[in-house]
């Protein structure tokens, strides 16, 4: 399927591995030039080199800790005018309320919650001034499943869900679409590190976690003109887990 993305510029955060790297690859395959941002310069370089070798697209990297508002501002300045922003950087720890201290809680939210908000605050006005652009926030099904052993992620994802829906409900005035994708468990290094907060494999839909490419495909479609009437909504890509929890 031609997604109509040839020649667009996409900025993807958390792009050194997992969902972010898979999304960058799919957007490049669809014809986008890519700006990749994450902490690890070495991993970013490998993804960028792969994009150039496989698809012949431009791939720039920006290595920084996006929990820093100064780093976010520097990234926005370096990126310039982008057509697509995929907010994906985040590492929220598992644990119950009594397991997570204030410093750990704030560090997690500085990266994922405030990182998304701050970068959106800088990129959105650029898109609005041109009357075109798409922001995709990769959030997480925890907001709907509400597992108390992942309380920091539950609350953060709920905030980002409301943030996405609120902006996206009104962004049409500026010709901009804002949407979210909320994955369930995904087969990445992060799933292995969540411990009790991760769903055990025998309880996962279809008996497995999602592949990063399955999440990336949803992101690429929502970012494309093929989904041009979609805004202010969050797509659940969790095999039905959140629907089951709601019941």
Mean pLDDT, 10 residues at a time, over the chain (247 residues)?
Answer: 96 97 98 98 98 98 97 97 97 95 97 98 98 98 94 97 98 98 86 52 81 97 98 96 81
| pLDDT score for 49 | 98
Which of the residues are catalytic?
150
| pLDDT score for 247 | 62
| pLDDT score for 115 | 98
Please say whether the beta carbons of 58 and 34 come within 8 A. yes
**Helix 151-168, helix 102-111: angle, nearest 10:** 30
**DSSP assigned state of 68:** S
| pLDDT score for 198 | 52
| pLDDT score for 190 | 59
Write out the two tokens for 191: 């799933």
| pLDDT score for 39 | 96
| pLDDT score for 24 | 98
| pLDDT score for 200 | 59
Count of CB atoms situated within 10 Å of the CB of 224: 21
Question: Could you give the domains of the chain?
Answer: 9-238 (3.40.50.720)
| pLDDT score for 201 | 56
d(CA 102, CA 110): 12
| pLDDT score for 217 | 98
d(CA 232, CA 166): 7
**DSSP code per residue over 209-245:** PBPHHHHHHHHHHHHSGGGTT--S-EEEESTTHHHHH
């Amino acid at each position: 399927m031609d997604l109509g993305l040839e020649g667009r510029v996409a900025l993807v955060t958390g792009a050194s591995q997992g969902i972010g790297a898979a999304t960058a690859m799919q957007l490049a395959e669809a014809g986008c030039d890519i700006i990749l941002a994450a902490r690890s310069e070495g991993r970013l370089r490998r993804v960028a080199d792969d994009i150039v070798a496989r698809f012949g697209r431009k791939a720039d990297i920006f290595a920084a800790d996006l929990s820093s508002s100064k780093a976010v501002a520097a990234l926005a300045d370096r990126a310039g005018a982008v057509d697509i922003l995929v907010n994906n950087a985040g590492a929220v720890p598992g644990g119950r309320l009594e397991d997570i201290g204030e410093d750990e809680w704030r560090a997690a939210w500085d990266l994922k919650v405030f990182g998304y908000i701050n970068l959106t605050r800088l990129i959105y006005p650029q898109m609005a001034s041109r009357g075109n652009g798409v922001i995709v926030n990769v959030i997480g099904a925890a907001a709907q499943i509400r597992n108390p052993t992942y309380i920091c992620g539950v609350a953060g994802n709920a905030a980002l869900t409301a943030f996405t829906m609120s902006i996206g409900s009104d962004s049409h005035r500026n010709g901009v679409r804002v949407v979210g994708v909320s994955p369930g468990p995904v087969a990445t290094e992060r799933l292995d590190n969540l411990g009790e907060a991760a769903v055990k494999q025998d309880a996962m839909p279809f008996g497995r976690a999602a592949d990063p490419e399955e999440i990336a495909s949803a992101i690429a479609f929502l970012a494309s003109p093929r989904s041009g009437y979609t805004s202010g909504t969050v797509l659940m890509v969790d095999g039905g887990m959140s629907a089951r929890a709601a019941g």
